[in-house]
């Protein structure tokens, strides 16, 4: 008679503990670290630049172009891929323990009304956002934002649109879809989860100044509230793509004509 093999009687990790570790891991390789770097940039601006953000300039997208443009394009595409991967990680984790149809964030199908919602959010956020940029420029509570520093090459607009799509996928899937889903599964109340999500969204825009934080905090409140009631992230991805696409492409064509951009 052979001796029975020992049985592993250790209990698996409790779901809430596992979800918390997943949140830390995903944010640790993506927007959580972006928030830390943005906070450090915020402090550095206040400490090292006389007048603070009133005299500071920041560039959102900066692309170098050399004599080997095909290599420059591959670098830009690799940056886009790198930015999307944390969203892919979040989706993989949601696949392991989905919170409902479409992983609990509405990725099962694109509804015909989703683009309409996306355009609506684009207008709701974009128009006040322009006003905030103008006020920030006049009152000095925001840095002078140079949205794009990208030489005029044939692939400039396509890459800027890909960057906008990457931002939409990364931020809305990770910060709204994944984070709010996991916080709910961890027992957080809706209001507490929205405050955390909105603070995170504002934090990684702190490098732009007080207005960058405030505007994105409010955007987080609106997007988070809507998601908690619909469990659909696709319209938010569309809205974010439109916001950033209009900001990036619009900037390069309107900047020569509008002084406060």
89-143 per-position pLDDT tens digit: 999 999 998 888 889 999 988 899 999 999 999 999 998 988 887 787 777 778 8
pLDDT at residue 259 in the model = 66
Tell whether 5 is covered by a domain: no
Tell whether 2 is covered by a domain: no
> pLDDT-derived band of residue 260, with 50, 70 and 90 as boundaries?
low
Average pLDDT of the residues of the chain:
90
pLDDT at residue 62 in the model = 92
> pLDDT-derived band of residue 154, with 50, 70 and 90 as boundaries?
very high
Percent of the chain with pLDDT over 70: 93
Range picked from 35-44, 107-116, 129-138, 248-257 for highest mean pLDDT: 35-44
Tokens of 165: 């799509």
CA torsion 117-121-122-124 (nearest 10°) is 140
Give the predicted TM-score (pTM) of the model. Answer: 0.91
> pLDDT-derived band of residue 257, with 50, 70 and 90 as boundaries?
confident
Task: Specify whether the CB–CB gap between 177 and 233 falls below 8 A.
Answer: yes
Tell whether 196 is covered by a domain: yes
Q: Cα angle at 35 between 33 and 38, to 5 degrees?
A: 110
Tell whether 11 is covered by a domain: no
Of the listed ranges 20-29, 31-40, 135-144, 182-191, the one predicted with least confidence: 135-144
pLDDT at residue 13 in the model = 56
State the Cα–Cα distance between residues 76 and 226, nearest whole angstrom. 33
pLDDT digits (tens, 9 = 90+) for 162-217: 999 999 999 999 999 999 999 999 999 999 999 999 999 999 999 999 999 999 99
Cβ neighbours, 10 Å, residue 1: 3
Tell whether 250 is covered by a domain: yes
Report the SS3 class of residue 132. Answer: helix
Cβ neighbors of 244 (< 8 A, separation 6 or more) are 163, 164, 167, 168
Tally of domains in the chain: 1
Mean pLDDT along residues 21-41: 97
What residue numbers bound the domain in which 245 lies? 17-254
Task: Specify whether the CB–CB gap between 203 and 42 falls below 8 A.
Answer: no
Tell whether 1 is covered by a domain: no
Tell whether 3 is covered by a domain: no
Tell whether 189 is covered by a domain: yes
Tokens of 58: 């920041």
The helices-and-strands tally (H runs, E runs) of the chain is 9, 2
Mean pLDDT along residues 83-88: 97
């Amino acid at each position: 008679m052979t001796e029975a093999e020992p049985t592993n009687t250790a209990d698996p990790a409790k779901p809430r503990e596992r979800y918390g570790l997943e949140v830390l891991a995903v944010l640790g390789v993506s927007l959580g670290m972006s928030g830390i770097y943005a906070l450090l940039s915020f402090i550095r601006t206040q400490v090292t630049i006389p007048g603070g953000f009133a005299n500071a300039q920041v560039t959102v997208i900066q692309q170098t172009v050399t004599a080997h443009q095909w290599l420059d394009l591959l670098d830009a595409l690799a940056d886009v891929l790198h930015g999307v991967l944390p969203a892919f990680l979040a989706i993989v984790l949601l696949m392991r323990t989905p919170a409902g149809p479409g992983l609990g964030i509405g990725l099962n199908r694109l509804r015909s009304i989703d683009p309409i919602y996306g355009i609506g959010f684009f207008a709701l956020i974009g128009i006040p956002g322009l006003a905030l940029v103008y006020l920030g420029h006049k009152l000095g509570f925001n840095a002078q934002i140079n949205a794009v520093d990208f030489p005029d090459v044939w692939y400039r607009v396509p890459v800027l649109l890909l960057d906008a799509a990457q931002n939409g996928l990364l931020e809305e899937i990770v910060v709204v879809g994944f984070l709010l889903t996991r916080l709910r599964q961890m027992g957080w109340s809706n209001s507490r989860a929205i405050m955390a999500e909105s603070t995170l969204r504002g934090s990684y825009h702190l490098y732009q100044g007080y207005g960058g934080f405030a505007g994105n905090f409010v955007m987080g409140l609106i997007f988070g509230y809507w998601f908690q009631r619909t469990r659909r992230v696709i319209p938010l991805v569309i809205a974010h793509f439109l916001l950033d696409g209009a900001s990036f492409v619009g900037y390069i064509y309107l900047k020569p004509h509008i002084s406060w951009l």
